[in-house]
Amino acid sequence: MTLLVGVGVGVVAPQGVVGGAFALLVGSLVAGWFLLVLDGRRPGALGFHVSRDSVTESVCGIALGVLIGMMVVGGMALLGGMTWEAEAGTVVGWLVGAAGALAWFAIPAAAEEALLRGYPLQALTEAYGPLIGIGTTSVAFGALHLGNPGSGVLEVVNVTAAGLLFGVVYMKTLSLWWVTGMHLGWNWAHGYVADVSVSGLDVVDAPFYEGMTGGAQWLGGGVFGPEGSVVATFVLLVATAGLWRAEGLSPGAAASAAGSLVMAESERNEPKD
């Protein structure tokens, strides 16, 4: 259903990465909403509930994604896996470019999250539990990047690890606003703030400086960028474990009221009186 709707939207959408991502986003939303209705749930159960919490959760997600992404960048720089060269630019130009890059990365991030951490993660979790739900969608997330430039074993492992991180955050918050924000912040931190490739794609450019990965492939990530570095492996796994144990990360009122299938699974496993 996602593909059928996506192909139809793709006929009229602009060509390119963002146009293709927009078509995928619409297809994933329509399919997810339709299946949730069949499950007796409201469309908001997909995770994109519309409320005052939406903005707060998005901003918090972006901040967390930037923080984790910059931890990878900082570790790589300290170990010699990333350097920068000065180039022309202005503060105003950097700020304008930062806003544009944030907007550019938003639709692909939302599309991938709606596709995998939307209905599939919920349905798998309801049927088989969170480990299968998170694990299966994370492997699928890694597989989506097999054809990217510079993709190899470590690169796919790291993207899969990022999928684990996003899956855990969805399970804790029941919000695709949180998860899309994290995905967006992670990509923006690498693609614009560090000014290097994101999953092998060099799609935006920051003024003032030019980022470059270097050193051994396992450290610098080569053309794939930071997601091809063992530093990313370490940071992602530590962040995932930390967030899984974090007590302060929980669903907001709107997310709880939306009626995710994950909540149905939790309610089913609660002890009966």
Residue 84 pairs in a beta bridge with 211
For position 271, what pLDDT does the model report?
A: 45
Structure tokens at 86: 């000065």
CB 207 within 8 A of CB 87: yes
- Strands (DSSP E) contained in the chain are 82-86, 209-213
For position 267, what pLDDT does the model report?
A: 52
For position 199, what pLDDT does the model report?
A: 93
- The three-state (H, E, C) secondary structure of 159-173, written as one string: HHHHHHHHHHHHHHH
* Cα–Cα distance measured from residue 95 to residue 253, given in angstroms and rounded to the nearest whole number: 34
Structure tokens at 254: 């709107």
For position 265, what pLDDT does the model report?
A: 56
For position 180, what pLDDT does the model report?
A: 97
Per-residue pLDDT of the chain (273 residues; tens, 9 = 90+): 998 998 888 888 888 888 889 999 999 999 999 999 998 898 899 999 988 889 999 999 999 999 999 999 999 999 999 999 999 988 999 999 999 999 999 999 999 999 999 999 999 999 999 999 999 999 999 999 999 999 999 999 999 999 999 999 999 999 999 999 999 999 999 999 999 999 999 889 999 899 999 889 999 999 999 999 999 999 999 999 999 998 888 999 999 898 888 876 555 444 444
Nearest to 97 by CA among 191, 19, 227, 160: 191
pTM of the model: 0.92
For position 266, what pLDDT does the model report?
A: 52
Q: At what angle do helices 2-12 and 17-38 cross, to 10 degrees?
A: 140
Structure tokens at 115: 């596709």
| Backbone CA torsion sign across 130, 136, 137, 141 | positive
